[in-house]
Structure 1
Amino acid sequence: MSDAGESRSERLPLVHPPAAVGADECAPRVAGVLLAAGTSSRFGDANKLLATYEGTPLVRHAAETLVEAGLAPLVAVVGYQRDRVTAALSGLPFTVVENPQYDEGQATSVRRGVEALDPDVDAVVFALGDMPAVAPESVRALVDVYRTESWTALAAAYEGERGNPVFFDRQHFDALAGVSGDRGGRRILTAGTGSALVETGDAGVRRDVDTRADLDRFG
């Protein structure tokens, strides 16, 4: 999930969200997991998740997107400087869980997030704490495609290029709990026959912050 790019061999079908989705009493219960445990090694001495964009920590921007998208329940996975990151999420409706293995790669946070989900959720959206410009509408687009089509693994896209966040039906939860390394659920997304990209028209789904130069470009 951490890699927003893709090779031609990983090209997935591109779909567009429906024009409208009506109210549905049986709508799926979609959880949100915020991955906010990393060490920010390329950002220098500071924790990039706590760097500010428009006066607000990056991680809080990312968290507010999931809240505004209407996902529930919400889980934040923290690790590096966990107390400070948790404080940045104060007042938001997240259950915060610690990943003591955060330095072993993003997959450990994905596993921790899956383990923390309520057993009755139908699907989950994974969002990255270093992506402050994702629109709530882009998250809802993933949910709307899931509700109206048969895809089980989805990634937000801009101009046909894969980005984040990503969406998985519960049938993938066991596989997500078994991922390793720093790719998160990328292999599950790119290998599945039920996988697709959702065109959002939102450049924010391709814009993460790895370095201070990245953050300066958000200004």
Structure 2
Amino acid sequence: MTTLHGDRPVAGILLAAGAGRRFGRPKALVELDGERLVDRGIRLLREAGCSPIVVVAGAAPLEVIGAVVVPNPDWSTGMGSSLRTGLAALPPGCPAAVVALVDQPKITPPAVRRLVAAYEAGAEVAVATYEGRPRNPVLFRAAHFPAVIASATGDTGARTFLHAHPHLITHVPCEDIASPEDIDTPEDL
């Protein structure tokens, strides 16, 4: 996949550090249809053309194929620290990154490709929407990494940055090809 920046593809970040308290164990290790959610998330980003792929781990050590695992020692403080860890782990020159969550297994490669297409068309920040509601995944152009890192605290992830910069956001409808449903309890499987 080519981008506005020549042959450098958009990176993928999979946030997979949580303990899964409501689930009873780390969701990254949960299997759905014989595949761990962490492996499913890596496959999602790889099939969408993202490279490199960074997996942020925390509550459980993760061994994966096809991605770089970056431990977040502060994972228990919330998603903000994992987002900061993932963005900081990207190699220099990375033009943009898609951020996905490990507990949303119904996100599809075509949805991620739509975000990348919006970026290639000039979007600064591309947010997947479902029935008009912004959800995940989200793509950030590299110019915004420092501001996202500075604003990512607690369990809000990038929400503070997104609320402060609505003029940067391109909404990308994805309800016809994906679902943002997350897995919080064993019954959700």
Tell me how far 1:134 sits from its aligned partner: 1.1
Write the mapping of 1:1-219 to structure 2, written as runs, cut at 5 A: 26=6, 29-44=9-24, 46-82=25-61, 86-87=62-63, 89=64, 91=65, 93-148=66-121, 150-178=122-150, 179-192=152-165, 193-202=167-176, 204-215=178-189
Distance between the aligned counterparts of 1:25 and 1:37, measured in 2? 30
Q: 1:151 to 1:191 in 2, by over 3 A?
A: farther
TM-score with structure 2 length normalisation?
A: 0.91
- Look up the SS of the partner of 1:155 in the other structure: strand
Amino acid paired to 2:119: Y
Amino acid paired to 1:183: T
Offset from partner CA, 1:154-205 (integer Å, 9 cap, x none)? 1111222222111101121111221211111112123311112200234634
The 8 Å contact of residues 165 and 205 in structure 1, kept in 2 or not, is answered as no
Tell me how far 1:48 sits from its aligned partner: 2.3
The 8 Å contact of residues 35 and 129 in structure 1, kept in 2 or not, is answered as yes
Amino acid paired to 1:54: D
Offset from partner CA, 1:131-162 (integer Å, 9 cap, x none)? 112110100000001111x3211111122222
The 8 Å contact of residues 157 and 205 in structure 1, kept in 2 or not, is answered as no
Distance between the aligned counterparts of 1:170 and 1:59, measured in 2? 24
The 8 Å contact of residues 27 and 147 in structure 1, kept in 2 or not, is answered as no
Question: What residue ranges of structure 1 are gaps of 5+ in the alignment?
Answer: 1-20
Structure 1 ranges of 4+ moved more than 2 A: 21-29, 46-49, 201-205
Distance between the aligned counterparts of 2:108 and 2:174, measured in 1? 9
Q: 1:25 to 1:188 in 2, by over 3 A?
A: closer
Superposition RMSD on alpha carbons, in Å? Answer: 2.0
The 8 Å contact of residues 158 and 200 in structure 1, kept in 2 or not, is answered as yes
Larger radius of gyration: 1
TM-score with structure 1 length normalisation?
A: 0.79
Q: 1:175 to 1:205 in 2, by over 3 A?
A: farther
The 8 Å contact of residues 106 and 184 in structure 1, kept in 2 or not, is answered as yes
- Look up the SS of the partner of 1:171 in the other structure: helix
Q: 1:40 to 1:22 in 2, by over 3 A?
A: closer
Tell me how far 1:108 sits from its aligned partner: 0.5
The 8 Å contact of residues 156 and 205 in structure 1, kept in 2 or not, is answered as no
- Look up the SS of the partner of 1:209 in the other structure: coil
Question: What residue ranges of structure 2 are gaps of 5+ in the alignment?
Answer: none
